[in-house]
Structure 1
Amino acid sequence: MPISREYACSLFADLTQSAMIPLDPDELLHMPGLRRHGHVFFGDLAVRCYKHKARWTYDERDIRAAGRALAELDLDLGDVVDVQLPVYRNMAERDPEERHHPNWRRQLVSWMFDQAHFKLVREERPYEEWGDWRHIGPNGLPGDMSWEEFVVSSGSHRRLQNIAGTRPLQLLTWSGETWRLPRVYADLLDRWELREDELVTRARLCSSCGEQGPYWGDWRTTTTAGYVTMCPPCSGAAFQPYTGHLRGVQYGSARRASTRADDYLCRLCRAKQASVWDHCHEHGHVRGPLCAGCNTFEGKGTPQFFLQREGAALHLLECRGCLEQRTLPNRFHLGVVRAHLEQTERHGSCRQQPYAREVGHAHGVYRFQLECSAWHTNGNWTKDITAAEVFALVQAFVDAALMQESRPAPDPAAG
Structure 2
Amino acid sequence: MSERVMPGRTDGLITLVAADALWVDLTADSAVPTASGAFTCSPARARVGYVLLGGRVVATVRASGGQWSVLEIEVRRAAGELNAVRMDRQDLVRIGPFRGAPGQECTEETPLRWRQRIMGELQELGGPERAARREVGRSYHLAGIDWRRILVERTRDGTQRTWWLPRAVVRLLDAAEHAETQWVQAARTRQAGAAVTEPHSHHRQTQATDGRQTTSPDRPTVPLRPYNGELQGHLYSALSRKPGISRKVAGWTCAVCRTAPAAVIDHCHEHGYVRAPVCHSCNTQERPDYLYSNDIRVANHYTRRFDTHTADWLRHWHRCPGCRARTTLPLPHLAAWTAYVACRSLRPTHRDPRGSRGRKPCGALRVSWTGSHNAPRSCLLTVAVDFCPSGEHRVLAQVPYREAAEQFRTWLAETAPAVAAAAGHDRLDGLPAHFRPVIADTSSEGLALF
TM-score, normalised to structure 2, is 0.36
